Amino acid sequence: MKYLDEYRDRKTSRLLVEQIRRLATRPWVLMDVCGGQTHSLVRYGIEQELTGTVEMIHGPGCPVCVTSTELIDFAVALSQRPQTIVASFGDMIRVSGSGNSLLQARSRGGKLKIVYSPVDAVELARKNPELEVVFFAVGFETTAPATALAVFHADALGLSNFSLVAAHVRVLPAMETIMEMPDNRVQGFLAAGHVCSITGYEIYKPFVAKYQVPVVVTGFEPIDLLEGILRSVTMLEDSQVVVENCYGRGVQRMGNLFAQSLIDRVYETEDRDWRGFGKIAGGGYRLRSQYAGFDACKKFTGMFPQDSIAATECRGADVMSGRIRPKQCPAFGTTCTPESPLGAPMVSSEGACAAYHRFDSFAIEIR
Amino acid sequence: MCLGIPGQVVRWINRDATFAKAEVQFAGVCREVHMACVPEAEIGQYVIVHAGIAICLVDEDEAAKTLAVYKLLESFAEGSDEVPR
Amino acid sequence: MKTSMTPAMNCPASVSQSDTVMLAHGEGGRLMRRLILERIAWRFGAGDVQFHSDAACLGKLAGDVALTTDSYVVSPLFFPGGDIGTLAVHGTVNDLAMSGARPLFLTLSLILEEGLPLAMLDQVIESVAATAKACGVKIVAGDTKVVPHGAADGMFINTTGVGVYEFHQRMSAANIHPGDSLIISGPIARHGLAVLAARESIALSPSPRSDSAPLHRVAAELLETLGADLRTMRDATRGGVAAVLHEWAEESGHAMWVDGNCLPILPESRGVCELLGLDPLFVANEGTFVAAVAPHHVNQALAILQSHLTIGCPASIGCVRHRELSPVLISRGLGADQPLDEPPVAMLPRIC
């Protein structure tokens, strides 16, 4: 496939690895913010190749993983409400709240529809006027325009049986949270390419200036990632602290202004509870008051769970910020496993804890 | 996070502001994609698609530039004794 | 059930005119006999289905007998490239074929949900009959039950298959040795994508088509030509190619190594997998299988596969190695071997 296959070339990848190895005079610690990048780093064996040269810390960039137990519990409760169907993305429905996941709730009579696009959920509502369709809107800035568009469509169609649980999270506040942590080890960031497709990368300038940490906008294919790592290492070796764009084919300086305006018209920022991190200031989007009619949290206030339990044992934030290794968490492999995860990094198969758990069963000690 | 796949715009279905849609091809398969965020896309151009909506145009000049650098890198390395697998 | 019959069900005229399956169709009376005779039995050719006795007489069989059984539940019942009827025949025929047996007879057991349109039942039965005929197997016994609305998803089918072993070899992962080659019969991931796209209404054009197909003829030729150099074979159904490799690794105690760049996949399947974030190795197939063969027979095996399969592009995808740590390894991208996971619980489109 054009614009994918060229960036998976083995020969070029190996050359880039060699360059990174030659350039690094000491081991550097970089954070890949995005779960998609983590996926590729693991899948293509890039992390292994760079052992001893660059340590990759897999950041909190999986919106599904950081969705609070409270919001998942709310969606689960809604799926069990009569004449109500909860629609969401395939990756969201496997994650448990303080009790069940949506998938488990379905086996107990909950109604669930997996959609590829949020706009498909609007279509579902239009075709089934007797049902209330609630879209569980997870995702970073990349996904927010799609759900905002769904709200516009529902509004234009005059639907009263469509609403959404706005669980969107924002990347930059999470990066700030990590930099604010005591004994933070991150020396450079690979910024998430597709988030930047929407937001652009000017927004990182104040961040870079404040925390004196380089940020390289990076894509998702092996060559993209290696190029991002190479640029980061080059900057670190030269004590340069700037924002650079290594994903030029998908990211413009100012991002997609139209997509940003979609977000702005529908959402406003709010403080948000991130699973494993706690409250992050400005860490999420909620629907603006003029779209309150589409806000499931307002429409079904009474069903909002009062007793959601956040796992206190989980040290996910310490893992995701690189302060401890997964095995140093007391819950790892005991009360927290891929089958019943407590926190974000065990939830997704690419999460740091899940990856460790998988490798550990073959008795490999990976970095 | 944020699976985004490049696809080629094959046909505009409609160009209304909010409801804009186009048929976009991914390898051998086509799907209708919401185009509200990339109204300027022309047939034959590539867009990156996430959750059913196009989030940006692929900057083909930038892509070509990067690829040219890789080609140079490769030709540079040829003749050297390292053997890429 | 019998005590709660509605008045409508007591009126034979209204029931017989119904265009959907009703509980009364499973009650054992005249309606049931008519349903079986008029809608099911006649399609399987006179004399094949022996409805007037409780068991079919298969006569003497030449060779060791193979027996297998499988149940088919698929939603939706119809999808591009097949339906639950083709699956119920191909699946059981392929189970026999992959074990090295020649399929001869099938049973057909139907569990129908009350309310299933009779036209749909007809279509499935027609498809079972046509598929069995094309495979050269006979449907020799059957059963029909009706369950209340909500107790099944339209229709479930169970087929049991009987075959005979015409060759000495028995297919088993215990025959696999380090150094053997792993071969795949054709492009992967077609069935799972077809069903997923149909079930979740993911509009794609062209719609992904299932690879549902019988494998007994190609399996027989491989057996005949390769002899003991054909170690074992298995159709890569649920859990896809990854599931087969994990099973073989466990059963043989060796490691299965796959070159991720050698996996045959159609461009349309590739596009769908990229778009939905699925790994084709985990996606189900219904007419594609993995074989382990002695390395010097790879080309011959590939030529046989090529001559039999309409879609083509069989490929050598890897080899068997001594087990160190991971049971299944894959090389992608940079070339370093990665452990390949076991198939996930559910294949679902993802955004992350």
Unique residue bearing structure tokens 């809608």: C39
How far apart are alpha carbons A215 and A204 in whole angstroms?
7
How far apart are alpha carbons C98 and C169 in whole angstroms?
12
Cβ distance of C352 and A36 shorter than 8 Å:
yes
CA-based nearest distance A128→chain B, Å = 20
The number of C-beta contacts closer than 8 angstroms across A and C is 85
Predicted pLDDT at C13 = 42
Predicted pLDDT at C201 = 87
* A34-86 confidence digits (pLDDT tens): 888 988 888 888 988 999 999 999 888 888 888 998 999 999 999 999 999 99
Q: Chain C residue with minimal CA distance to A114?
A: C200
DSSP element (H, E) containing C163: strand C155-165
Closest partner residue to B30 among C205, C266, C270, by Cβ? C205
Residue C256 in 3-state DSSP?
Answer: strand
pLDDT of residue A364 exceeding 90, the answer is: no
Pick from A166, A90, A110, A111: which is nearest to A135 by CA?
Answer: A166
Using the Cβ of C345 and the Cβ atoms of chain A, whether some distance falls under 8 Å is answered with yes
B79 vs C166, which has greater pLDDT?
Answer: C166
Residue A299's alpha-carbon distances to A109, A255, A306, C177, in angstroms, are 22, 33, 16, 63
DSSP element (H, E) containing A335: none
* A131-183 confidence digits (pLDDT tens): 999 999 999 999 999 999 999 999 999 999 999 999 999 999 999 999 998 88
DSSP result, C77-137 = SEETTEEHHHHHHHHHHHHHHHTTEEEEEEEEEEEEETT-BHHHHHHHHHHHHHHHHHHT-
Residues 6+ apart with CB under 8 A from A182: none
Which of A14, A39, A44 to mutate against chain C (most C CBs within 10 Å)? Answer: A44
CA-based nearest distance C196→chain B, Å = 15
Predicted pLDDT at C15 = 46
Considering just the CA atoms, what is the radius of gyration of chain C in Å?
A: 22
Query: pTM (2 decimals)?
Result: 0.91
Predicted pLDDT at C348 = 81
* Percent of residues, chain A, with pLDDT higher than 90: 67
Pick from A143, A170, A167: which is nearest to A283 by CA?
Answer: A170
| Segment C311-318 mean pLDDT | 89
* C213-242 confidence digits (pLDDT tens): 999 999 999 999 999 999 999 999 999 999
Predicted pLDDT at B76 = 75
Which of A38, A140, A249 to mutate against chain B (most B CBs within 10 Å)? Answer: A249
Q: Chain A residue with minimal CA distance to C349?
A: A90
Residue C349: pLDDT band by 50, 70, 90 thresholds? confident
Question: What is the pLDDT of chain C when averaged over all its residues?
Answer: 90
| Segment A286-310 mean pLDDT | 91
pLDDT of residue C45 exceeding 50, the answer is: yes
pLDDT of residue C344 exceeding 80, the answer is: no
Residue C251: pLDDT band by 50, 70, 90 thresholds? very high
Q: Chain A residue with minimal CA distance to C345?
A: A94
C343 vs C68, which has greater pLDDT?
Answer: C68
Which of A7, A11, A114 to mutate against chain C (most C CBs within 10 Å)? Answer: A114
> Which residues of A fall within a CB distance of 8 Å from B78?
none
Structure tokens given for A114: 């997996």
Predicted pLDDT at C46 = 53
Q: Are strands C337-339 and C328-331 parallel, antiparallel or unpaired?
A: antiparallel
Using the Cβ of B26 and the Cβ atoms of chain C, whether some distance falls under 8 Å is answered with yes
Residue C311: pLDDT band by 50, 70, 90 thresholds? low
C89 vs C345, which has greater pLDDT?
Answer: C89
Closest partner residue to C348 among A44, A48, A114, by Cβ? A114
DSSP element (H, E) containing C11: none
pLDDT beneath 50: ranges in chain B: 1, 81-85
Using the Cβ of A35 and the Cβ atoms of chain C, whether some distance falls under 8 Å is answered with yes
- List the subunits that have 3+ CB pairs under 8 angstroms with A: B, C
Predicted pLDDT at A42 = 83
